[in-house]
Amino acid sequence: MNMKSWLLALVAVSSALAMSASFGQQNRDWNAIQITPHQVAAGLYYLEGTGGHIGLLVGDDGIIMIDDQFAPLSEKIYAAIRKISDQPIRFLINTHIHPDHVGGNAYFGGMGIPIVARDNVYLRLTQRGTAKAALPVLTFGAAVTLHLNGQDIRVVPTPPAHTDGDSYIHFLGSDVIHAGDVFRTVAYPRVDDQSGGTFEGSLAALQLLIDMAGPNTTIIPGHGVLSTRDDVIKFRDMAIEVRDRVSRLIDQGMTLEQITAARPTADIDAEWGFEPPDLLLPVLYNELTHAN
Ligand SMILES: [Zn+2]
């Protein structure tokens, strides 16, 4: 192994460790966490707790649920859903594999609720030794549409972005899209390259979201605040700007350590970061130096 491949391997390992820490359950006081419902449109809600926002479409045909946060919160989440509706949960859709989005799969799948997700979500959960009750029972490779509660609900796979199993859920009747973690308003783009995510794919996926949305579409991010298509455009433009800055520094012959030390996003960290781009830079560096 030459020096460069050794360093790249080191980057891969440290980014994997950072990822598992950042997506894992860590040490949290689960008892202190409240599940707060927010109404987005008629019959459409998201639940805020800790982890990814849970989407809920409620109507005469029952409840469509998107994601289920961390396992220790399942009973609280179920209680919060029951305060909104006593209808049965008909389907649980997973936007991607991270434990702050699928941690409750065993609980809800164990209740007999069919879990729906992309083929890659099923593959990766299976590879990670996930219990049978927590696995999707219906998987797809191309877009699928549910016809419930008087509207079409399109579940659309994205290019490899945050992971290689991301989906957007588009409630066409409500003009609302749940974007999973491809679009979050809390930090720079997060690319889990250990789960097949890519930065260039994230840009393509954001373009897909921009194309799917209209000027009045409400977008529920995986984490953060309700947004519009214009917010996604600004986020996508920021991502392109960060990539171009890093690319220029690579062209000047700088190493990842030098680029990180140069703080290429210092002037925009306050607006976009809430955290420095420490998780993004290694992935971006790796991807840009492997291009061509
Ligand atoms: Zn995620």
pTM flag (> 0.85): yes
**How many angstroms is it from 268 CA to the middle of ligand 1?**
23
**How many angstroms is it from 60 CA to the middle of ligand 1?**
31
**How many angstroms is it from 233 CA to the middle of ligand 1?**
20
Mean pLDDT of the chain: 92
- Order of strands, sheet of 89-93, starting from the edge strand that comes earlier in the sequence: 36-41, 44-48, 54-59, 62-66, 89-93, 115-118, 138-140
**How many angstroms is it from 174 CA to the middle of ligand 1?**
24
Structural domains in the chain, CATH included, are 32-290 (3.60.15.10)
Our CA angle for 76, 79, 83, nearest 5°, is 140
**How many angstroms is it from 94 CA to the middle of ligand 1?**
11
State how far the Cα of 266 lies from the Cα of 288, in Å rounded to an integer.
20
pLDDT tens, residue by residue, 227-265: 999 999 999 999 999 999 999 999 999 999 999 999 999
Across 77-236, where does the E strand assignment appear?
Answer: 89-93, 115-118, 138-140, 144-148, 151-157, 167-171, 176-178, 218-220
State how far the Cα of 237 lies from the Cα of 249, in Å rounded to an integer.
19
Which of 206, 189, 187 is closest to 271 using CA atoms?
187
pLDDT tens, residue by residue, 144-164: 999 999 999 999 999 999 999
Radius of gyration of the chain measured on its C-alpha atoms: 19
SS3 content of the chain, % helix, strand, coil (to 5): 45, 20, 35
**How many angstroms is it from 98 CA to the middle of ligand 1?**
5
pLDDT band of 6, cuts 50, 70, 90: very low
**How many angstroms is it from 183 CA to the middle of ligand 1?**
10
**How many angstroms is it from 224 CA to the middle of ligand 1?**
13
Q: Are strands 138-140 and 115-118 parallel, antiparallel or unpaired?
A: parallel
State how far the Cα of 219 lies from the Cα of 180, in Å rounded to an integer.
10
**How many angstroms is it from 12 CA to the middle of ligand 1?**
18
**Amino acid sitting at position 180:** G
